[in-house]
Amino acid sequence: MVNKLQSAENQSQSFSNFQTYDAGICIMTKIIDLMSGRWKPIILHLVKNDVNRFGTLQRSMPKISKKVLTSQLRELEQDNLITREVVELKHPQIVIYHLTEKGLSLRRLIDEMIQWGIINLTIPESYLRMLQAELEDGKADLKNSAITL
């Protein structure tokens, strides 16, 4: 773990020493690419909170098509942010998704971005009222929230 931290510090220092930037190798571009896609942050949030089967994911995001959900799940798996566990091979196949350590650490970053957005962005009043009601009912947890702006 110490080696990873030292490596990250060295990369951070070398990143700040660049006089010119190439988006193809920029670490921020790579991070944004991992999170790109309208549904990826929401999928990571849901999987983190045990909404981790295809059907339950789709029901939790009624506006997503099966094709797009499949594509986003495959990309997250290829990026090693989630794992796909086949529990039942026979029809109907049961597949459960889990966050990897890398996925958990990215989820924490997304949570921080959500907190930043709550503080710094204008949020529609109707959304704030809904969030307030959930907080009062004990249904909302800002630390584990999938707030979308």
**Per residue in 98-139, pLDDT tens?**
999 999 999 888 888 888 888 888 778 887 787 777 777 665
- Output the pLDDT for position 100: 96
Q: Is position 70 within any domain?
A: yes
C-alpha separations of 120 from 53, 134, 149 in Å: 34, 21, 12
Quick one: pLDDT band at residue 58, thresholds 50, 70, 90? very high
- Output the pLDDT for position 69: 96
- Output the pLDDT for position 118: 81
CATH of the domain at 94: 1.10.10.10
Domain coverage including residue 86: 22-144
- Output the pLDDT for position 143: 47
Q: Is position 80 within any domain?
A: yes
Section 11-24 average pLDDT: 63
Contact indicator for 42, 107 with CB cutoff of 8 Å = no
C-alpha separations of 79 from 40, 101, 108 in Å: 11, 12, 17
Q: What percent of the chain has pLDDT over 90?
A: 35
Q: Is position 9 within any domain?
A: no
How far apart (Å, rounded) are the C-alpha atoms in residues 92 and 19?
A: 55
- Output the pLDDT for position 7: 56
Q: Is position 27 within any domain?
A: yes
Q: Inform me whether the pLDDT recorded for 31 exceeds 90.
A: no
